[in-house]
Amino acid sequence: MHIDGRLEGDVAVQGDVTIGSPGSVRAAVRAHRLVVAGSLRGPVLATDEVTVSEGGRLDGDVRAPRVAVDDGGVLHGGIDMEFDLPDEPMEEP
* pLDDT at residue 84, rounded to an integer: 59
Residues paired with 35 in a beta bridge: 18, 51
* pLDDT at residue 14, rounded to an integer: 94
Count Cβ neighbours within 10 Å for each residue of 5-30 and write b for 16 or more, e otherwise: eebeeebeeeeebbbeeebbbebebb
* pLDDT at residue 87, rounded to an integer: 58
pLDDT band at 91 (very low <50, low <70, confident <90, very high): low
